Homo-oligomer: A and B are copies of this chain.
Amino acid sequence: MKSIDGLTTEEERAAAIFRALGNPARIRIVTELARRNACVTGDLVDVLPLAQSTVSQHLKVLREAGIVRGATDGESACYCLEPDVVRWLATFCTDICCPPAADALSAVCCD
């Protein structure tokens, strides 16, 4: 993938987060974490029809994107969402869909 240099920090961050979330297994992980508030890796392996190593890999991707946080407290690893990041993402989406005067100008070109 070619790097786009005119990109703002916000846009780069958004692209990275969207990319991390753009996979059914990882979406499942995130919604599961949202529902149960915190999960041990084994719980997620049980929920997903994937090998343990694959789930671990997905968790790594989500970790590196800053979407989840993992604490390896000895025997098991506990994951939970990073609320600030998801909140930031929601704001980003809202800003895109509701720019000032968006409604007023719509339908100028598209019918």
Contacts and interface: CB of A to CB of B under 8 A. Distances in A.
B99 A80 contact: no
A111 interface: yes
Nearest to A111: B71
Interface in A13-72: 14-16, 18-28, 30-31, 34-35, 37-38, 47-50, 69, 71
B27 A18 contact: yes
A26 B49 CA distance: 31
A75 interface: no
- Size range of the chain A interface in the assembly: 35 or more
B2 A35 contact: no
B28 A24 contact: no
A93 B89 CA distance: 7
A22 B22 CA distance: 7
B15 A49 contact: no
Given A4-B48, A11-B28, 8 more contacts: A3-B24, A15-B21, A18-B23, A18-B27, A37-B102, A37-B106, A86-B96, A90-B97
